[in-house]
């Protein structure tokens, strides 16, 4: 099992994909840009990944910009950000996978977003309702499959509407685009890797579920509890507000990661029930410039429903 982590570390160093294609130049360039990026008003290392409503309002007509509204068709039809296309969050779930909540496969993803006019090089802004849960999930999926130009709207539609910004009921039509899959295995945690991480001193298993789920009091699979050694950090701690939720500052987020034993060099496997809440932790890591955080897509839906997994209960790791 230890070989899985060693291979991941080798991939991070060399910039090789699982298929052996050399990504050193592309990945290396991204890493340099992230390290040298100027800090934004909240001190993020990669502030361009999070856009404010002011920015989006000023750039609605920007050539090539694509906006994804991941809310329901009904909510979208009642009013949405101008030029936003509706791709409901549930559309990104694979109905044929035996593990509930898993991301759709690459070819299905490419067809879905490509038909909406979103290519692998498109500048994309994703927003949801009053929090960023599904927006960050789609952000992670875009990066996983090859688009490194995605952003999330801070505060989502709730903040946009609260500020009485322009709304429309008209759905835009964009020509289909080509989304060329460039799968990045360093962004996806697997069952085998999480198993190996239990005994790895340089790895942190980050559980972004509620305290009740973590302890085993709130059971949402065949068995309740948590992965041995996992650190519990409910996803809501990364956000400010209730109805309109926005990201905390870099200083606050860094302190939260520090409290979980996460540094820039730590390999982190974030998970929740279906890798939606943990996508917020992935996004936070990207904002802070941490490049070793993976989203475990199988999550508790896989771990808690298998018969061969070790599970701890209670409030301690």
* The residue to which tokens 């299905």 are assigned: 108
* Secondary structure class of 134 (helix, strand, coil): helix
Q: Which of 118, 272, 275, 284 is catalytic?
A: 272
DSSP designation for 312: B
Tokens of 257: 């990661």
Q: What is the 3-state secondary structure (H, E, C) of 31-96?
A: HHHHHHCCCCCCCCCCHHHEECHHHHHHCCCCCCEEEEECCCHHHHHHCECCCEEECCHHHHECCC
DSSP designation for 103: B
* Secondary structure class of 188 (helix, strand, coil): strand
CA distances to 8, 28, 96 from 14, in Å: 10, 9, 34
* Separation CA 27–CA 214 (nearest Å): 35
The answer to whether residue 272 is catalytic is yes
The two beta strands, 293-296 and 239-240, are: unpaired
Active site residues: 272
């Amino acid at each position: 099992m230890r070989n899985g982590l060693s291979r991941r570390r080798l991939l991070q160093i060399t910039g090789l994909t699982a298929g052996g294609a050399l990504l050193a130049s592309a990945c290396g360039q991204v890493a340099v840009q992230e390290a040298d990026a100027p800090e934004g008003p909240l001190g993020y290392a990669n502030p361009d990944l999070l856009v404010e409503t002011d920015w989006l309002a000023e750039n609605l007509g920007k050539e090539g910009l694509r906006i994804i509204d991941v809310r329901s068709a009904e909510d979208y039809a009642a009013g949405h950000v101008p030029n936003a296309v509706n791709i409901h969050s549930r559309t990104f779930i694979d109905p044929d996978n035996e593990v509930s909540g898993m991301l759709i496969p690459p070819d299905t993803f490419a067809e879905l977003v490509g038909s909406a006019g979103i290519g692998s090089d498109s500048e994309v802004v994703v927003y949801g309702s009053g929090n960023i849960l599904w927006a960050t999930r789609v952000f992670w999926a875009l990066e996983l499959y090859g688009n490194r130009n995605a952003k999330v709207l801070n505060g989502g539609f709730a903040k946009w509407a609260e500020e009485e910004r322009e709304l429309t009921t008209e759905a835009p039509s964009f020509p289909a685009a080509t989304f060329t899959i460039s799968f990045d295995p360093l962004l996806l945690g697997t069952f085998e890797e999480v198993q190996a991480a239990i005994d790895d001193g340089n790895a942190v298993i980050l559980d972004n579920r509620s305290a009740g789920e973590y302890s085993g009091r709130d059971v949402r699979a065949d068995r309740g509890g948590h992965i041995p050694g996992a650190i519990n950090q409910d996803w809501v701690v990364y956000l400010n507000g209730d109805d309109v939720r926005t990201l905390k500052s870099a200083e606050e987020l860094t302190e939260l990661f520090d409290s979980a034993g996460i540094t820039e060099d730590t390999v982190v496997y974030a998970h929740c029930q279906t890798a939606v809440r943990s996508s917020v932790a992935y996004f936070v890591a990207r904002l802070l410039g941490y490049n070793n955080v993976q989203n475990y897509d199988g999550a508790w839906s896989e771990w808690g429903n298998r018969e061969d997994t070790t599970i701890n209960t209670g409030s301690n790791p």
